[in-house]
Structure 1
């Protein structure tokens, strides 16, 4: 057995990042033994039945790196400096150490950028050129790597292929899932418009809504406030931290209105109609690549009625055929066989 160090934003209760980890673990070849870098090593080990390493214990991280034969940047937007300059420093530093220790390195299912810092752009190019394989999950990242001259493969996000566990029992009328997160583009005014539109949609059309916070620490207060503004007999709030269970819950819905990228991907992968509220380039890329319905948060219609009309059109339309994206996501599984 060869040891593989899995590096990502794991163990922080973000269902999207946990979904990437769950998918990566499902797709690893049977001859490798994973060790997961985690913000909560005990919870990660208990949930997935694997070895885990606390990302804050640097001596243990370095020892684990030295004992590993391979290192994987495990999916997501790890290399971007828009939300924090510290985050790429951490991940680029680990990849640098892994390569110096002689690990085979893979950048797996990455969303590269935005990178404003010239230093980070130079450093990222240098590391990617030394990787055994590089795969990206969106057209924007692929265009950037073509510009840099980095060999790579592009495929749909691997979470399209993550397994699901049984979710909600069937109901007479399946709900629409709503997955929102705090963000500077979700201003107080836009938040009020969204709440008003969802409440009026329930009153006028009798639409049941299921509120699904994807990162409890961030999203739950927003979901609880929204729950208090909606019709209680037509609204449900569920907290779930296992990504496979979350996908099973979404499979029992009629569709999803979501800001969270992986809420949209999970819902689409189980045949749901989706409406994206885009706050980030990664959501914009998903909309562009798949033709998914949605709106930029910064361009949210001022009249709630306009939003309701868009939702009605989306959720009454035929279910899109996403089979091609399920097949495309196999690109990321294939490169793991190089291990």
Structure 2
């Protein structure tokens, strides 16, 4: 029996050329089902249309310019879904925006959907936090108390919801529902041939950290650590920018900045444009060193060991979920360069063991994520 079709307004951070966000969008629409009709927001509607059509029946509106159109669409939709990402949060000072701007916008949309359009609302596989102030907590409570179904992707988010008096369900990040074939689509021939030589390190950096004053000292320490490892285990660093464009200090800019600080370590510049490009780069590396959450998720699914550069709560929580918290360093505070050197060298020495661990852990999370999507599909089709 064919599942019923629904008109779903699906909102998130799309069209900012962030590979992780675009991968979330692909994942959610695939898991919710291609039989539905979707209205999706995007900062670049043409980009998002090209990404999704013709596989999905989707109308794409401009996030900034079409807000009235979105509200009108809510009146004729069957439900509103927010999918993945750190949705309920105060923005860091490094973004240059009002810390409550995202919360205020979401509060307006959710309130309209529930009180004016009278539609059910779901927030699926989201992150909740950071919420550092009374105002942020108040806004979060006002939003979440109006949502019918809340699933969160980490324990910290669940604890925060409980502290707000919100009934939430703990599930994995949505991308854990993917497997190798999904990440690497369209299929290519095979992995790059493995040869003797330097350790290939895929490296991702993201400027938007909790403590922006720590950024320059962090880059200096990271460069020094990579040089220190290279003197003992020859490295070849491969740039893995997960966001190219849209904002100042994008991942390409900060990776280039790091490259200028390296004196002996070979640095290979890449500009992946899709999640498949990024997945292939990760697959063909020996290990990943990364800030961004979805680079680490993809690496774990592909069995590539990660050293985590924890820049905020969601990445720290992911490291705990994957059981690699000991292979993590917090980049918001000063750290001893030797600690990072020793950690990377230990990971190189044990990379096959860590690879097997994260692949096994990801497989278990995949089963849980897919079960959670079965429940989400049942909820959506029952509206």
1:275 is paired with a residue of what secondary structure? strand
* Counterpart position of 1:91: 106
Do residues 178 (structure 1) and 197 (structure 2) align? no
Query: Is 1:206 equivalent to 2:229 in the alignment?
Result: no
Distance in 2 separating the partners of 1:123 and 1:300: 32
Q: Report the equivalent of 1:240.
A: 272
1:76 match: 85
- Cα separation, partners in 2 of 1:233 and 1:81, compared to 1, 3 Å: closer
Residue 216 of structure 1: aligned partner: 244
State whether residues 214 and 334 of structure 2, in contact with CA within 8 Å, keep that contact through their aligned partners in structure 1.
no
Secondary structure of 2:118's aligned partner: coil
Q: Is the 8 A contact 1:2 1:32 kept in 2?
A: yes
Q: Give the secondary-structure state (helix, strand or coil) at the position aligned to 1:214.
A: coil
Contact 1:161 / 1:269 at 8 angstroms: preserved in 2?
no
Alpha-carbon RMSD: 2.3
CA gap 1:249/1:51 in 2 versus in 1, 3 angstroms: farther
Report if the CA contact (8 A) 1:4-1:35 is conserved. yes
CA contact (8 A) 2:43 2:63 kept: yes
Residue 164 in 1 paired to residue 180 in 2? no
Displacement of 1:185 after TM fit? 5.5
2:13 matched to which residue of 1? 9
Residue 232 of structure 2 aligns to a residue in which SS? Answer: helix
Q: Is the 8 Å Cα contact of residues 152 and 170 (structure 2) preserved in structure 1?
A: yes
* 2:26 equivalent to 1:22: yes
1:21, CA displacement in angstroms?
1.1
Q: Any gaps of 5 or more consecutive residues in structure 1? A: none
3-state secondary structure, aligned to 2:183 = coil
CA distance in 2, matches of 1:193, 1:235: 17
When structure 1 is superposed on structure 2, of 37-46 and 74-83 the one drifting more is 74-83
The alpha carbon displacement at 1:228 in A equals 3.6
Task: Quote the Cα distance in structure 2 between the aligned partners of 1:219 and 1:249.
Answer: 15
1:46 matched to 2:50: yes
| C-alpha distance 222-87 of structure 1, shift in aligned 2 (>3 A) | same
Taking the aligned partners of 1:227 and 1:261, their CA distance within structure 2 comes to 22
Cα distance in 1, alignment partners of residues 154 and 213 from structure 2: 22
TM-score by length of 2: 0.81
Match of 1:272 in 2: 304
Matches within 5 A, 1:223-302: 223-230=255-262, 234-292=266-324, 293-302=327-336
Contact 1:202 1:231 in 2 (8 A): no
| Residues 1:58 and 2:84 aligned together | no
Match of 2:345 in 1: 312
What is the CA distance between 1:111 and its match in structure 2?
A: 0.7
Task: Name the count of aligned residue pairs.
Answer: 338
- Cα distance, 1:201–1:276 mapped onto 2, change above 3 Å: same
Aligned to 2:96: none
Distance 1:231 1:335, change over 3 A: farther
Q: What TM-score do the two structures reach when normalised by structure 1?
A: 0.91
Call closer, same or farther: CA 1:233–1:126 in 2, change over 3 Å. closer
**CA, structure 1 residues 332+239, in 2 after alignment: closer, same or farther (shift >3 Å)?**
farther
- Taking the aligned partners of 1:242 and 1:145, their CA distance within structure 2 comes to 33
Q: Give the secondary-structure state (helix, strand or coil) at the position aligned to 1:10.
A: coil
8 Å contact from structure 1 (residues 202, 234) kept in 2 = no
Please give the alpha-carbon distance, in whole angstroms, between the structure 2 residues aligned to 1:300 and 1:247: 31
Unaligned segments of structure 2, at least 5 residues: 93-98
Task: Quote the Cα distance in structure 2 between the aligned partners of 1:336 and 1:139.
Answer: 19
